[in-house]
Amino acid sequence: MYIVLFLICFSLRTRYVPNLDHGRLRAELHKALHVWSEHSKLTFTEINSDEADILIYFEGGYHGDGYPFDGRGQILAHAFFPGKDRGGDAHFDIEEFWQLTGDEERDDGTNLFVVAAHEFGHSLGLSHSSVPGSLMYPWYQGLEPGFELPDDDKYGIQQIYGAKEKLWGKNIGPGYRWPHRPIHTTTTTTTTTTTTTTTPRPPPTRPHQDEKPDTCDTAYDAISIIRTEVFVFKGKYVWRIGDKGLYLGYPALTARLWNNLPRDFTHIDAVYERLDKKIVFFIGRYYYVFDGNFLEPGYPQPLTTLGLPASLTKVDAAMIWSHNSKTYLFSGTMYWRLDEEVGKVELDYPRDMSVWKGVGYNIDAVFQWKDGITYFFKGKGFWKFNDLRMKTETERQLPSAQFWFSCPTPETEDPGVNSLPTENPKYRSEKYDGFNSSVKNKPSLFVGACISLIYIAVNLL
């Protein structure tokens, strides 16, 4: 029987922090790291070396990483995800009035233990949480008496590194800079800087509302798997693809299947089926939720209900990504992750579409086939996306109509080969579920040496 441990080294590189005893400061950092090791297979040891996995600095203003501090208040600290160079490092604003455990509480003081434990969560690969009261909640909440790590944070750390006793089940993502209080105009990360202002693309030319689209010569507005079948939307029409290919009689009017959509709609912007099998349509500034063919009471609702900005005129595409069962919404140059449990986009969003390498901006549609592979559509072509490498399989698009509808190729007029993906999930066997594969399956014992933190691109989502 093998026991898997993760021994991670850290080092405090700043020798003097005003008003803080160096020994007590180090003890506070040990305590903050213990929050995570107490509930996982992590073990931390302090060394005096620039080669440690987590380097800890107290800095002021511009300090060489492109993310300057702003003096007392606002941005307290930031940390970098596991990876090369600065990966795993944590930086704290030296101009804050830091308080240690046992100090007399001051209204203008900031508890170092809480902030450090939060930032070390990012150093280990955890994202912000949308659960109020969790340690990884994005906003400073102070230290409550008798602090214990909330369950939501246990889920995340145990998903990556395993549990000492019980494995909790939650998928995780990246870490972000932590504002002292809500900042509504700008969201800043350790990898990209984005604002909530988006530039929507100009509306593409749509067919006349009574014009039936050409199956073999058109772009698509939205695509989704609904009840195990592929539905492709264009204008007021929809195609339906089953296990044996395209159904006869399609394209057909979308309103024949969902007659509670607005009578004057000209196209569907995006659609996806939720995990509870409810179907969500996006049309302009509103979204509609259907149970089968019937509109749920209380809908439509404005996009702002989901926490999307009022400036957003539409959603370009939507999908549930099988890697983490999270809902993603795309528009223009940005994308959001939707927390279905609370019905709001998560606090660390929007983010730039450049994370999905090779796809570019202003996509038309996205969905995942039954084998779990992601397909992005733009114009009359599509890309097959490699979820592990977070990039398209090829730079050049494949023609959508020839692949999905068996249309003849333009050059030869020979029948195209319908290469619909198989339902056999071969690709899934290669996927990491967070960091679970490395935690559960690696038969080794790490003792007496530091290991570098692992970096996997998909955890940036």
Which are the catalytic amino acids? 119
* Beta-carbon contacts of residue 6 (< 8 Å; ≥ 6 apart): 40, 41, 42, 43, 161, 446, 451
Record the tokens describing residue 21, joined without a space: 């005893």
Among 171, 240, 185, 244, which residue's Cα sits nearest to residue 418? 244
CA distance 123 to 112: 16
Phi-psi region of 285 (alpha: psi -120 to 50; beta: other; left: phi over 0): alpha
Q: Is 71 annotated as a binding residue?
A: yes
CA distance 31 to 93: 19
Among 435, 405, 436, 14, which residue's Cα sits nearest to residue 218? 405
Q: Is 87 annotated as a binding residue?
A: yes
Q: Check residue 115 and report its DSSP letter.
A: H
Q: How far is CA 27 from the centre of its chain?
A: 34
Q: Is 434 annotated as a binding residue?
A: no
Output the CA–CA distances (angstroms, integers) from residue 16 to 20, 75, 200, 353, 425, in the order listed: 8, 21, 48, 41, 55
- Using the Cα atoms of residue 235, residue 313, residue 287 and residue 308 in order, give the sign of their dihedral: positive
Q: Is 128 annotated as a binding residue?
A: yes
Q: Is 371 annotated as a binding residue?
A: no
Q: Is 366 annotated as a binding residue?
A: yes
Q: Is 363 annotated as a binding residue?
A: no
Q: Is 223 annotated as a binding residue?
A: yes
Q: Is 118 annotated as a binding residue?
A: yes
In 323-448, DSSP assigns E strands to 326-331, 334-339, 344-345, 351-352, 365-368, 374-378, 381-386, 391-392, 398-399
CA distance 75 to 186: 12
Give long-range contacts, CB 8 A cutoff, 24+ apart: 395-400. 395/358, 400/219, 400/220
Q: Is 89 annotated as a binding residue?
A: yes
Pseudo-torsion of CA 250, 252, 257, 259, nearest 10°? 180
Record the tokens describing residue 379, joined without a space: 């114009």
Q: Is 70 annotated as a binding residue?
A: yes
Amino acid at position 144, single letter: E
DSSP string, 18-67: TT--HHHHHHHHHHHHHHHHTTSSEEEEE-SSTTSSEEEEEE-S--SSS-
Q: Is 108 annotated as a binding residue?
A: no
- Using the Cα atoms of residue 224, residue 229, residue 234 and residue 238 in order, give the sign of their dihedral: negative
Among 60, 61, 62, 66, which residue's Cα sits nearest to residue 85? 66
Output the CA–CA distances (angstroms, integers) from residue 164 to 4, 41, 45, 121, 167, in the order listed: 10, 6, 18, 17, 8
Q: Is 318 annotated as a binding residue?
A: yes
Q: Is 28 annotated as a binding residue?
A: no
Q: Count Cα neighbours of 195 within 13 Å in the Cβ-side half-sphere.
A: 5
Q: Which residues line the annotated binding site for Zn(2+)?
A: 63, 65, 78, 91, 118, 122, 128, 136
Residue numbers in the known binding site for Ca(2+) are: 53, 70-71, 87, 89, 93, 96, 221, 223, 269, 318, 364, 366
List the binding residues: 53, 63, 65, 70-71, 78, 87, 89, 91, 93, 96, 118, 122, 128, 136, 221, 223, 269, 318, 364, 366
